[in-house]
Amino acid sequence: MVLEIEIKFPCPDLLAVRKVIKDREGIFVSGSFESNMVFDSYDKSLRGQNILLRLRQAESTELCLKRPPNGELKSSSEVKVWEEYETCIQDPQNMRSILEGLGFFVDFQYEKYREKWFFESCEICLDLLPFGNFVEIEGDERSIYNASYLLGLNREQASVKTYHELNREYRTAHALEPDDSFVFDKSRRDYLIENGLNF
């Protein structure tokens, strides 16, 4: 188990942020297209407890459980804190069958292209999603805000909301039908898998 402290910033120009990271000698970690399935019980008990049970396929397949921490460190209006458990899975289809056999189902699915960097003691994720671009910064609170300042991100726009919450807000703001899933159309998906953020 690890504690994950993070914050998100909307960012129309991910390439400009990437350039700053590279110019300041940030370390490239990885870049990959992610496909995620979020599971819940049929009575939505996990969602009711703010628990995320996710099967993610990217460069590897990982099963992840995120939940609010039990200790003193809690989320605030400034940062989001998760208690996180994660493990690699060799056979995603078998894992899905196990979860469904235990009474869980795929509640919704989502996709993103994520490029990871290490910069100023933080993990920086440049995220391209169907409804927008974001920079997610993970680290301790002081390092997060130092990194965001160096990257030219607007602290007033910082958000502790999940991508699921941001997707719901986007759909409401654009008068779209409610849908917890957010996935790319096939042509966009194929392009991102082939080219990543090199657009």
What is the full per-residue pLDDT of the chain (199 aa) written as tens digits? 678 899 999 999 999 999 999 999 999 999 999 999 999 999 999 999 999 999 999 999 999 999 998 766 666 657 889 999 999 999 999 999 999 999 999 999 999 999 999 999 999 999 999 999 999 999 999 999 999 999 999 999 999 999 999 999 999 999 999 999 999 999 999 999 999 988 6
- Report helix, strand or coil for 161: coil
Residue among 187, 136, 197 at smallest CA distance from 163: 136
Which residues sit opposite 33 in a β-bridge?
113
**C-beta neighbour count of 132 within 10 angstroms:** 15
- Name all domains of the chain by residue range, CATH numbers in brackets: 2-195 (2.40.320.10)
- Chain length of the chain: 199
Predicted confidence (pLDDT) per residue in 36-45, tens digit: 999 999 999 9
Q: Which whole-number Å values give the CA distances from 32 to 3, 14, 61, 78, in the listed order? A: 23, 15, 12, 28
Asked if 66 and 162 count as a contact pair (C-beta separation under 8 A), the reply is no
Separation between Cα atoms, residue 199 and residue 190, nearest integer Å? 13
Residue among 129, 138, 125 at smallest CA distance from 170: 129
Separation between Cα atoms, residue 114 and residue 147, nearest integer Å? 18
pLDDT attached to residue 80: 87
Asked if 95 and 63 count as a contact pair (C-beta separation under 8 A), the reply is yes
Q: How many CA atoms lie within 13 A of 5 on its CB side?
A: 16
- Report helix, strand or coil for 182: strand
